[in-house]
Structure 1
């Protein structure tokens, strides 16, 4: 809806209401600025779906090796990087009875273990500056991916071919046991979350015995325990041959360049058996199933789940549109009915989780505490039934299409990773049987009709439903891993298959960061801009010198509540109107905060930039803070505080800052910014208006932009929308005060009792004598040796060698003011004390005579220099760099300077930087876990122990 129409329809009564609510007069538009803004918005109607689709494609070429390996190549020369991805046609649905979790277990073995010719696969990846590297397993596929600088392409292909063809000789019992322990801790980490056990219950109810989708990808503890070395080796022989794989190369490469390299490194790998993916029907329940379970959660959650057709089925797009209209859009039917409507829920969602043979259609409702869950459940079923009968409107379908196309634009900006072109090509090739499925599928969103969506919803959602209700309460007993008598490790040297050594790398040029340009609006707001034209998108952030640290000490949570309300009504637009207009534009506007800054962000197809800025200007400068919305979002924030108090990481994030910084310090608050229940209850509309008036104003603002559109065009649009904006005369500008003393560190263990926790979460660290504007490059590089990254000493010791954790790290978290050092270590409950002891030993050794080694120095220096092109591949990464450069008082060309500075580093300088900042003797340890299990383990660590309840 464009501004001129909206204002015409708003009417005198709505305008009078806004004035009655007390919108600050100083924030209203001048007549001239309003006229310019309306004219801009009226002229810039939302681009059509066809217009947006014009550049959304991933052209590729294909060839096949004699051994059956399919290769897809997409050329994208925007950055000197290449994405490498190998997708295997095997997943957990292909596992036989008694061997659940094998696909995922072997993903870990192939990803993290060494091979016959490369003792540790992660070492060369880090050395070559690989970014976005990992592996994943799901019901239908296993994949591995990394993005490498172009001169490292051959080395990246060598490593990927080592996984495919040369791993069995290096697979020992010792390595299997280590990865088994890591996977079991990955399972514990997921299970330990609120509602973490629900997915298992759903699968068992929806699918009959023997159905390939009945068991989870993570598998059962018992099956993982029983996996023998020969079982796992045979699993690899049966499933990971080149004829069951697709190799995707995307980026700075052509098919002519790719073919000889792929032949060289993959051509000698022999074929394996052809894996025919398990067939599976879409089951229909004989009758509705309704179950209730308890968990240590803050509020009741309702689930509705159906098994529906798979990714390539003709009804898939229609079902996805139905889900988004029901509960995926910000303007969704569920949100309008339960969150904004009768306010019986604090959050809702609906989505389709697509697989190869079938999909799952999910609906969830988090019931607001104090509401009648039975009544909400009945209303939910009625709403779904009514929607299935009547379907969506044409406008709802169009809004879903615009959002999907905008999301597709963002996805194809990246060559590889969890999203990106290799992911989209691989998913199409393996799951849908067509590498070009992405383009075909996204086009279908623009063609779908309301009638087709209604018919699909009626066809599939009228079938018997699985209903699950999760109420607050004690959990059922947890199925732990059992101690087993496994064979002694066989360390007999293996006979490596003859092969040429890993190829050398070419020279990698230093980063060429985009030129940074600056402009200023007539009200003094500075615009900091970089051009990026890989996709026709604009990403923009209006950043304010506020943040969680600006919260009033007696009203913690004010800033978070104010930011949430900014998009829930502005200049007469209701929350629903704001949501609908964003969706029509394919735009995403959000107001968020870190500790130091409050930021309103916009991502939008550049064709719709003008009307999107019209909407953004209202959100920034003219939020309504209507009393009804204040009450609604206050209740939601109180529910989020209660939910955070049931999440182990959330609990640690509330406790650690208070202990480290002290309650009086602006950084001694919950890092989420949610505040405290008492503080939030006391906040009223006047408080929020006053906070906005003091902190969200031109004097505290800077605008950061990354766009394919030139600075002059962007600045003209910003000037039309925000140039006349002024802070209220006579109203003081907010200023943060950091004078509160930081308490003297008192090393101890604070054990937060969270019963029935299969894992403990350890947060440990200190406040450093370091601030964001200090030169921290050497400190960060040094910390890679001990705490940061996969190859750090603490992760290598506790995760890779001992198998006690899914992953842990110790990091410096930069702040504008004093920064903390925080170890984050989720570990299995029965190894909590042992893990703390190992961490103490590792940090003591690092601070003593076991500082940074020459090899660690070279790895950090090489990796950090070589990863720069991949690190700044996307507009979002560029935008983030612009903002952190400004926050930490860095020059615009900061990232172009770091390569030479890395090269000059020595182990001695790195040791000095680490020892000047990090003092392990001053660490305070916060442990969130089951005190009955953990408390006895803490004896003998030499620290006082305080036990406190999770509440």
Structure 2
């Protein structure tokens, strides 16, 4: 989807200057007035003469270019254009289909681009990879592109491969519908979605989507970009795609250019031979024009992972083919792109406020846009850059340009054009110019013939077009680095952001702790910005309390939403909606929790509902049967997925089957455990663990202790501490294995191998918590970690490799995972081990790696407590670990103080790759022998 104006380079620009005269004094006598009028006429004549001379001086003789062509329409409507160029034994083929994203409709965006991808999946008579025969035949300049207006496909082949190329192109034009299958559609849809993700993930990747939707009204064909939306791509069906092919991919809607080492007679004979039997239905109607949208006067700002702030200024201007097209192209070339252009010279060279300035005229069939893009130099104030940019644009629109500069621009662009015409194919080659000219102007020679008009453009014409379109009413988009949000909130200069971040101090609301009449501990943080209250009742239990029925704790949590008191599940849900309240439950390894949120105006009745869940859950038998059935289905789905299977298999291998942490890490339990759960088990679990002396209630919201304490005492008056002593959950320590162990799970014909490795870590410790996190992140904790950069970025064997350390009361499971292509299973294991060994050996953490971690981690804290739910989660963790508010608030300072020595010590203390327990899921016929050959430890195949 690359817009390429062939006549002009779009990437170079400059400004022209012109003057204007003044007016006389009205207090003259009549004689003086007559004399003045006579002089005025003379001055006007002289000015006109000077203008004519200036216009003549502005003329630059265009290069003498000629692309002779033959144009003919076949009986089926296919337009064929042939150009003979014998200088090399190659032939270029370029096919333009008159369909682009502008021909889509709302709800079905992205079809044109998706279909471009589908066309490279082979055809009915050549299934498989379309590129394959070309790659064996010396093809060059082979690709396809889609823009708002059209889709094209092109390749340059040796003359001896021309028949093959024409056969392939004609086969997918006339014999493609049968090759469109659900499998092919799903595959290419996935590729396009990854392309969209990749584009949006790139710096400034969302800019043009935003510009399109902001500068064109809804339902305008240019209000979306060719990539389309994820939702529309997901909704595309095989029938939709086949209809798209039938409507648009027919000879009557296409232009075929054959250029190179071939005569017109030979080319036309081959065109008839290969394309002449392809039928056309009536050609689809074409959008020829659309009223130019009003100029948008709007400013938007975005934050993205970008290295510096970027400014986009956009004006809606006339389309390709307008009388102003050449002047608009010249304006773009004069404004930017060259070191001597107006904006580059002023902003980049003289003032040093920007690192780059570019501009281009985005001409299309229905409308055009003039864009100026400025990359603000880090540390420079945005306001100053924008002010100077606007001043320069106003001055240019008012004063115009110099003749000398106009001549330089024309000459430069002519030179670029001539150089591009050395090629017969590819972007900017002769076949491309012929196709583009036919498509946009209905004449293959239009662009070359138009060089004289371009050469005659005057400085006055440029200035008039600039003054007409470079108005103050424009669309501005500013994309800032995400770090700028925090910096702006603190009023600091953006260039100092890293330093400010390293010394950031968290201002957290004070916490009030009190105990209810029933002994329940309450921790309250007031935040009165919105009238809502969030609560989290957390109590020891979790999967560690499952006993011999893995899944009991999570089923008990799930059943709390199935009714309480006198309300069944549906009635309970209706009451929640009536009050605007939300009550839920969750389960982890060491804790279960009940969460609550309510409007302040409905706090008292909402607390009554909350209390019913705590003290009177229904646990109805019919609801339990349904929940258990659904859970068993979920387990089956987990076992069908390599990741789910690995997460279920690893814990008992690390801790032992009878260990509290030996249950599946998915939290769903086991089939045997779920099947064995009874209503009595739920009642007993609830009575045993949901008690005020085993829980802490954390609260964040628009409420004071004076308001909240009596309400809680009233609502929870019936929830009392039982007479029985609170049970404890023993979590015994386990020893790491003396050597690595490898467990294999067979998935015949698996397309990938899922590699997982586990290591038992000591419990969380406040003394070296920050060093541990830094150490774990650098080796495998984020995208730029060593293992991910190795397997994904360097080797391209995996979509992503990571490691996580679960936060538990006892020993923590550390889990490394990497899905990799099957044939790289053993090499990937070798690379993973190499990274860990190097980390512990002669390649420990580097200062830059730690500095990047420190800056990133500290910066995150600025947004860590934005919402009440975020603050509530942090306080719940703080309470769980027995920490003070000050400990949380001082976290940035502790991270900023980390040294490489701290990280090295943590690695030596915690990491032991030679003691990994590996669980590897894949096609054992393909991978087992190579894994065994690694000799990293005993290998065992697990039954399923």
Residues 336-415 of structure 1 aligned to structure 2 (within 5 Å)? none
Please name the residue that 2:608 is paired with: 614
Tell me which of 779, 782, 789 is aligned to 2:772.
Answer: 779
Q: TM-score, normalised by structure 1?
A: 0.51
- How much has 1:786 moved relative to structure 2? 0.8
Please name the residue that 1:270 is paired with: 359
Q: Using a 3 Å threshold, how does the CA distance of structure 1 residues 506 and 793 change in structure 2: closer, same or farther?
A: closer
Tell me which of 573, 582, 596 is aligned to 1:579.
Answer: 573
Residues 507-656 of structure 1 aligned to structure 2 (within 5 Å)? 507-508=500-501, 509-552=504-547, 554-656=548-650
Q: Which structure ranks higher in relative contact order (CA pairs < 8 Å, sequence separation ≥ 6)?
A: 1
CA contact (8 A) 2:838 2:844 kept: yes
Please name the residue that 1:203 is paired with: 237
Please name the residue that 1:788 is paired with: 781
CA contact (8 A) 1:772 1:815 kept: no
Q: Does 1:805 align with 2:798?
A: yes
Moved more, 741-750 or 824-833: 741-750
Q: Using a 3 Å threshold, how does the CA distance of structure 1 residues 695 and 99 change in structure 2: closer, same or farther?
A: same
Please name the residue that 1:98 is paired with: 116
State the secondary structure of the residue aligned to 1:927: strand
- How much has 1:747 moved relative to structure 2? 1.0
In 2, Cα distance between equivalents of 1:890 and 1:642: 40
Residues 835-846 of structure 1 aligned to structure 2 (within 5 Å)? 835-846=828-839
State the secondary structure of the residue aligned to 2:116: coil
State the secondary structure of the residue aligned to 2:934: coil
Q: Using a 3 Å threshold, how does the CA distance of structure 1 residues 882 and 750 change in structure 2: closer, same or farther?
A: same
CA contact (8 A) 1:568 1:575 kept: yes
Tell me which of 763, 766, 769 is aligned to 1:770.
Answer: 763
- How much has 1:659 moved relative to structure 2? 0.7
Q: Using a 3 Å threshold, how does the CA distance of structure 1 residues 259 and 578 change in structure 2: closer, same or farther?
A: same
Please name the residue that 1:691 is paired with: 685
In 2, Cα distance between equivalents of 1:726 and 1:673: 29
Please name the residue that 1:155 is paired with: none
Residues 672-821 of structure 1 aligned to structure 2 (within 5 Å)? 672-729=666-723, 731-739=724-732, 741-742=734-735, 744-771=737-764, 775-821=768-814
In 2, Cα distance between equivalents of 1:834 and 1:92: 38
Measured against aligned partners, the alpha-carbon deviations of 1:142-178 in whole angstroms (never above 9, x if no partner) come to 79889xxxxxxxxxxxx9569979xxxxxxxxxxxxx
Please name the residue that 1:383 is paired with: none
Please name the residue that 2:301 is paired with: 249
Please name the residue that 2:850 is paired with: 857
In 2, Cα distance between equivalents of 1:518 and 1:603: 19
Please name the residue that 1:669 is paired with: 663
- How much has 1:661 moved relative to structure 2? 1.1
State the secondary structure of the residue aligned to 1:514: coil
- How much has 1:584 moved relative to structure 2? 3.0
State the secondary structure of the residue aligned to 1:843: helix
- How much has 1:889 moved relative to structure 2? 2.3
Q: Using a 3 Å threshold, how does the CA distance of structure 1 residues 144 and 204 change in structure 2: closer, same or farther?
A: closer
In 1, Cα distance between equivalents of 2:362 and 2:875: 51
Moved more, 536-545 or 200-209: 200-209
In 1, Cα distance between equivalents of 2:589 and 2:603: 29
State the secondary structure of the residue aligned to 2:714: helix
In 2, Cα distance between equivalents of 1:265 and 1:142: 28
CA contact (8 A) 1:755 1:931 kept: yes
Task: Say what the alpha-carbon RMSD is for the aligned residues.
Answer: 4.4
Please name the residue that 1:921 is paired with: 914
In 2, Cα distance between equivalents of 1:275 and 1:582: 53
In 1, Cα distance between equivalents of 2:118 and 2:499: 43
State the secondary structure of the residue aligned to 1:583: helix
Measured against aligned partners, the alpha-carbon deviations of 1:251-279 in whole angstroms (never above 9, x if no partner) come to 99xxxx9989999769934246368999x
State the secondary structure of the residue aligned to 2:895: helix
Q: Using a 3 Å threshold, how does the CA distance of structure 1 residues 675 and 704 change in structure 2: closer, same or farther?
A: same
- How much has 1:665 moved relative to structure 2? 1.4
State the secondary structure of the residue aligned to 1:770: coil
Measured against aligned partners, the alpha-carbon deviations of 1:315-363 in whole angstroms (never above 9, x if no partner) come to xxxxxxxxxxxxxxxxxxxxxxxxxxxxxxxxxxxxxxxxxxxxxxxxx
- How much has 1:750 moved relative to structure 2? 0.9
State the secondary structure of the residue aligned to 2:763: strand
Please name the residue that 2:867 is paired with: 874
Please name the residue that 1:912 is paired with: 905
- How much has 1:900 moved relative to structure 2? 2.1
State the secondary structure of the residue aligned to 1:940: helix
In 1, Cα distance between equivalents of 2:624 and 2:935: 49
In 1, Cα distance between equivalents of 2:714 and 2:828: 58
State the secondary structure of the residue aligned to 1:98: helix
CA contact (8 A) 1:748 1:945 kept: yes
Measured against aligned partners, the alpha-carbon deviations of 1:411-445 in whole angstroms (never above 9, x if no partner) come to xxxx999xx9xxxxxxxxxxxxxxxxxxxxxxxxx
Q: Using a 3 Å threshold, how does the CA distance of structure 1 residues 205 and 855 change in structure 2: closer, same or farther?
A: same
- How much has 1:836 moved relative to structure 2? 0.9
Listed as ranges, the gaps of 5+ residues in structure 1 are 1-66, 68-88, 107-135, 147-158, 166-189, 191-198, 215-242, 279-414, 421-500
CA contact (8 A) 1:510 1:865 kept: no
State the secondary structure of the residue aligned to 1:97: helix
- How much has 1:622 moved relative to structure 2? 1.0
In 2, Cα distance between equivalents of 1:519 and 1:898: 25
- How much has 1:619 moved relative to structure 2? 1.2
Measured against aligned partners, the alpha-carbon deviations of 1:173-192 in whole angstroms (never above 9, x if no partner) come to xxxxxxxxxxxxxxxxx9xx
In 1, Cα distance between equivalents of 2:108 and 2:297: 9
- How much has 1:576 moved relative to structure 2? 1.0
Measured against aligned partners, the alpha-carbon deviations of 1:633-672 in whole angstroms (never above 9, x if no partner) come to 2222222222221122211111111111111211111123
CA contact (8 A) 2:111 2:241 kept: no
- How much has 1:517 moved relative to structure 2? 2.3
Q: Using a 3 Å threshold, how does the CA distance of structure 1 residues 896 and 581 change in structure 2: closer, same or farther?
A: same
- How much has 1:933 moved relative to structure 2? 2.6
In 1, Cα distance between equivalents of 2:609 and 2:246: 48
CA contact (8 A) 1:745 1:923 kept: no
CA contact (8 A) 1:750 1:948 kept: yes
Please name the residue that 1:658 is paired with: 652
In 1, Cα distance between equivalents of 2:800 and 2:297: 28
State the secondary structure of the residue aligned to 1:273: strand
In 1, Cα distance between equivalents of 2:566 and 2:498: 59
Please name the residue that 1:886 is paired with: 879
- How much has 1:212 moved relative to structure 2? 13
CA contact (8 A) 1:549 1:667 kept: yes
